[in-house]
Structure 1
Amino acid sequence: MPSFDIVSEVDLHTFTNALDQSNRLLDTRFDFRGVEASFKRDGLNATMFAEAEFQLTQMEDILRGSLIKNQIDPKAMEVGDMEGFGKQVKKSVTMKNGLESDLCRKIVKLIKDSKLKVQSQIQGDQVRVTGKKRDDLQQVMALLREADLEQPLQYNNFRD
């Protein structure tokens, strides 16, 4: 029976490349000359450091652009609140990795409400969809692409 998994993952190497590109862009931008501003990575989390609040909003846009260039959906990015310390301000950025149980249940409900002849089951932080026909599975993928979910989805482990 054909099946596939619905996951939400961010590749660590690609995320690191996006942060490196953002840091290089900060070095070359005219409005950031002579300013202490940088991105620091810790796993799938990053911290933006700058001297003023408006610079943090510009850095957020720079990071979004770099993520898009590296084929990472910016919906996976969750920006925290601004914190001030000393003469610098910082903001934390967390990349969503894995599906939360509420979102898994929402996906399963969406698939069941579509009345397609497939079965879906939650397996940890992913959802497995199984059906008799490959076309039914492709309809599920199309349905989920059209749905407005708060997190980007990938479809992997497709078996025929």
Structure 2
Amino acid sequence: MAKEASFDIVSTVDLQEADNAYQQAARELTQRYDLRQTGATIEFSKKEGVFTISAPSEFVASQVIDVMGSKLARRQIDLAALRWDKPEPAAGSSVRQRGHLVQGIDQDTAKRIAKDIRDLKLKCKPTVEGDKLRVSSASRDALQEVISHLRDGDYGQPLQFTNYR
């Protein structure tokens, strides 16, 4: 009998690269002419994976989000991995906005991915294991087909395929 091949489906962000992008964005806030005197700030909690933007208006906050997005994209971090909350009023007339880095696959998305894999009618078995999925099959061709199908799908977050054996 053939040995089973498998791979894992995960959704992770390299926090060191996110921290580097944050440092570049913070530096650009102090140097860019249109943002220098606005009082806009950005903070990053590496432990929680949360960006916090404080700005005098929603427009300035959106400018800071654009700067942050360009720095993340330059560091090969998919922008779908960052979810921004709605702006909330802060002290005075300023606004505060938080962005959360998505780490791991939540249960609803994992079930949806597993259902999509089963709907392909291939001889493979998806298994939800915490915040990742493991897909196993006797046929490596079936696994390759699953990977290509999932790359075409949109699940609201970036997916990586690891531990292909």
> What TM-score bracket applies, with the shorter chain setting the length?
over 0.9
Per-residue displacement from partner, 1:32-62 (whole Å, max 9, x unpaired)? 1222112111120110111221000111111
Q: Which residue number in structure 1 is paired with residue 155 of structure 2?
A: 149
How far apart in 1 are the matches of 2:109 and 2:103?
Answer: 12
Q: Describe the SS at the equivalent of 1:81.
A: coil
> Where in structure 1 do 4 or more consecutive aligned residues deviate above 3 Å?
none
Show structure 2 runs of 5+ residues with no match.
Answer: none
Q: Which residue number in structure 2 is paired with residue 92 of structure 1?
A: 98
TM-score (norm 2): 0.92
Deviation of the 1:64 alpha carbon: 1.2
How far apart in 2 are the matches of 1:141 and 1:35?
Answer: 46
Does residue 1:39 correspond to 2:39, yes or no? no
How far apart in 1 are the matches of 2:37 and 2:73?
Answer: 27
Q: Describe the SS at the equivalent of 2:86.
A: strand
How far apart in 1 are the matches of 2:112 and 2:133?
Answer: 11
Q: Which residue number in structure 2 is paired with residue 126 of structure 1?
A: 132
How far apart in 2 are the matches of 1:121 and 1:86?
Answer: 47
Show structure 1 runs of 5+ residues with no match.
Answer: none
Q: How does 1:23-102 map to 2 (within 5 A)?
A: 23-42=26-45, 43=47, 44-87=49-92, 88-102=94-108
Q: Which residue number in structure 1 is paired with residue 18 of structure 2?
A: 15
Per-residue displacement from partner, 1:92-143 (whole Å, max 9, x unpaired)? 1111111110000000000000112211110011100011122211111110
Identify, as 1 or 2, the structure richer in strand.
1
How far apart in 2 are the matches of 1:142 and 1:49?
Answer: 41
Aligned CA RMSD, in angstroms, stands at 1.1
How far apart in 2 are the matches of 1:39 and 1:27?
Answer: 11
